[in-house]
A and B are shown apart, each in its own frame.
Chain A
Amino acid sequence: EAGVVQSPRYKIIEKKQPVAFWCNPISGHNTLYWYLQNLGQGPELLIRYENEEAVDDSQLPKDRFSAERLKGVDSTLKIQPAELGDSAVYLCASSLVSEAEQFFGPGTRLTVL
């Protein structure tokens, strides 16, 4: 069974540019999460989806971050415009239902110059 797929694995952009990350969860997993992991820290939840619905986006900086999960499968996280402080690893995870074990993808390492 394929795991959570994320692309790209690495992204380098200049500040003020837009960037997008893509996540394909494990087949059949209804719940999808986006986490931010700063260097030397544990992951922090940005947004959680139940199917197409964003049920927890309280930690998402909505002035520059947006996310969507069309058709309740793949998801895209966007930053526009990117700032230097956005340099981090962006992890996607999925679970069969909420409260179940979360399976993580390899992450996208973003560097903003």
Chain B
Amino acid sequence: AQKITQTQPGMFVQEKEAVTLDCTYDTSDQSYGLFWYKQPSSGEMIFLIYQGSYDEQNATEGRYSLNFQKARKSANLVISASQLGDSAMYFCAMREGYNTDKLIFGTGTRLQVFP
């Protein structure tokens, strides 16, 4: 079974608009962490935002926010005021349990921002 599911292979958004990238996860652990990374065409994975399973507030980092719905096991990334430079692949990842740093990644969503 897929641990991390990203059902949107590609998304388009107009500049300055908001966009939501979907991510659902599967775990039986009570303690876990959820991450979003951006991968531009240059190849490196850039950390965007983190949500811990016990965090009561949704994480926010500048224009990025994470819509964490624990009961539904979803951790969608919301990008507000999209910019042309946001065009990239976006990966959702999960780290399960304590004392582990193994990240399990989804298959990614390619976001294209157009003027």
On A, residues with C-beta under 8 Å from B are 3-4, 9, 31, 40-45, 48, 56, 89, 91, 93, 95, 98-107, 109
Contacts and interface: CB of A to CB of B under 8 A. Distances in A.
B90 to A, nearest CB: 10
Contacts of B100: 98-99
A105 B39 CA distance: 11
Interface stretch (B12-20, B68-76, B104-112): B104-112
Interface of B: 4, 37, 42-47, 50, 91, 93, 95, 99-103, 105-108
A77 B62 CA distance: 36
Contacts of A95: 101
Nearest to A104: B45
Given A93-B45, A102-B45, A102-B103, 18 more contacts: A3-B44, A4-B44, A31-B101, A41-B105, A41-B107, A42-B4, A42-B105, A42-B106, A43-B103, A48-B102, A91-B43, A91-B45, A98-B101, A99-B100, A104-B44, A105-B44, A106-B44, A109-B43
Contact of A44 (B42, B43, B99, B105): B105
Contacts, number: 58
Contacts of B108: 40-42
User: Which of B37, B95, B101 has the largest count of A CB atoms less than 10 A from its CB?
Assistant: B101
A104 B106 CA distance: 17
A45 B99 CA distance: 16
Contacts of A43: 45, 91, 103, 105
Contacts of A31: 101
